[in-house]
Amino acid sequence: MTTKYSEERSDEVSRFSVSTSTDLTIQIAEREGRQFILIKEQHPAGTISTTEHTIEIPAALLPELKRAVAVLEENFGDEDEPDQHTQHHPVSFAHESEAEFAHILDFYHIVWQYEPRTFAIEWDDEGNVASSFTPDFYLPDHDLYIELTTARQPLVTKKNRKVRRLRETYPDVNVKVLYASDYQKLIDKFAASGAFYGDGSV
């Protein structure tokens, strides 16, 4: 059966050649109000093909796809780059508190990864991912995910619901929420140690 996507949304994002007879296209498509990323094998005019493949990825998993690409770039990049236990590669943090927390982890020589995995936590009736959750940090030596929560209460309540759903869906995953009061105590303790620069920045 052929999957029907909305004709109103089928934007081609990229097209590149894999061989002289095969191209790959990356498209954004929509079906029943949900967006998808389509990676489709295309055969230029004049070629004969007996097979055609399409990979469909829910747009809700885009953060995980971006991190997977980043990991691939690291693994296939310069062999002289620092190993995974050094955190000198550039990271674009979503919030200043995350950069502060990463600085604390570095100070205590705790290995960390920033948003390394996205977990699907809710699905619709057809099995498509309806909601996902990406913890802020993962500490591989401790097999522990850390989620920082320093936002206003309505967002904290929403995040707590996602963390609860994550624990229910993936009982083997260890995740800890660091609330605003806990985080501030950590920052105060760290600042008292003199680890911050004189202007309070990290």
Task: Write the DSSP string, 83-144.
Answer: -TT---S----SSHHHHHHHHHHHHTT---EES---EEEEE-TTS-EEEEE--SEEETTTTE
Whether 199 is in a domain gets the answer no
Is the pLDDT reported for residue 201 higher than 50? no
pLDDT of residue 54: 84
Work out how many domains the chain is built from and give that number. Answer: 2
Structure tokens at 110: 């705790």
The DSSP call for residue 81 is S
pLDDT of residue 164: 94
- How many separate helices (H) and strands (E) can be counted in the chain? 4, 10
Which residues have CB under 8 Å from 51's CB, separation 6+? Answer: 41
Q: Are residues 58 and 116 in the same domain?
A: no
Domain assignment of residue 15, given as a range = 1-79
pTM above 0.75, yes or no: no
Q: Are residues 162 and 97 in the same domain?
A: yes
Whether 197 is in a domain gets the answer no
Is the pLDDT reported for residue 50 higher than 80? no
Instruction: Please name every residue paired with 57 in a beta bridge, in sequence order, or none if there are none.
Output: 37
Whether 198 is in a domain gets the answer no
The candidate with the shortest Cα–Cα distance to 135, out of 148, 122, 120, is 148
pLDDT of residue 140: 93
Give the CATH number for residue 150.
3.40.960
Is the pLDDT reported for residue 176 higher than 70? yes
Query: Looking at residues 122-129, what average pLDDT do you find?
Result: 85
